Amino acid sequence: MDKRTLHLWLANPNDVLAEGVAEECDRLLTEDERARLQAFRFERLRHEYLTTRALVRTALSHYHPISPEAWRFTLNAYGKPTADADCAMQFNLSNCPELVVCLISHGAEVGVDAEPWARAKEIAEVAHTVFSPLELEQLETLSGPEKGDRGVSLWTLKEAYIKARGMGVSLPLKKISFVFGGAEGIHLELDPCLNDESERWQFCQLDHAGHRIAMMVERTAGPELEVLEMRPLLAESTKLSDGVVRWYPYC
């Protein structure tokens, strides 16, 4: 696996409705994963969880000689999983009702978030609780679809960052600012309380099937992105042509 290339895998939870697919995915799970699957009250959440587990197991096996059902994972104190196998691969996951994504790197920490455009209004309603003062100031200069677009961008970028850090919502979201404009296009500003340097990270966004996807990776000499889709679920992956993105800071 090329150290410079990130691999973004895509799947659709609705595919588990096809005959025999859910059963085939279930065979890949551990007993603990099956117990968690059954604990979900709503069928939609079970579909998302089953797709997520099947996708990450199948994707990792694409790069390392371990069968999908043999992967085992350890969670850190904040719930971020890492593979137990000595394979140097890092990964992160995000799931929505109609899209599950898995971002994989060789060695570099990564974070990914996907949100449907339909959540733009919901995000706008809670913007004051999660966006920094600088982000809110810029957001208020926008209106209509442009404002909704910015809100979804900010939400996914912030989620990707806190997931890359492996600390989730324990990090104060209002201390993280993605600033739009200027020669850089977008740049990251971090409060000193976060014990991190913005120069450590590069990030990008792309749109797919009515969703915005944000990706964060530890800085390299210009990362490349390969996008693969696994549809129908557990079928051979298809390489998509939309992997050309602009990384920020630009290099």
The CATH number of residue 226's host domain is 3.90.470.20
Please tell me the distance from the alpha carbon of residue 241 to that of residue 229, in angstroms, as a whole number: 11
Number of structural domains found in the chain: 1
Is residue 16 assigned to a domain?
A: no
Which residue, among 250, 82, 70, has the nearest Cα to 166 in the 3D structure? 82
pLDDT in tens, the chain (251 residues): 777 899 999 999 999 999 999 999 999 999 999 999 999 999 999 999 999 999 999 999 999 999 999 999 999 999 899 999 889 899 999 999 999 999 999 989 999 999 999 999 999 999 999 999 999 999 999 999 999 999 999 999 999 999 999 998 899 999 999 999 988 899 999 999 999 999 999 999 999 999 999 999 998 756 889 999 999 999 999 999 766 789 998 75
Quick check: is 195 in a domain? yes
- Domain contains 213: yes
What is the extent of the structural domain holding 137? 5-11+84-239
8 Å CB contact between 203 and 217: yes
pTM of this structure = 0.96
115 lies in some domain: yes
Q: Is residue 250 part of a domain?
A: no
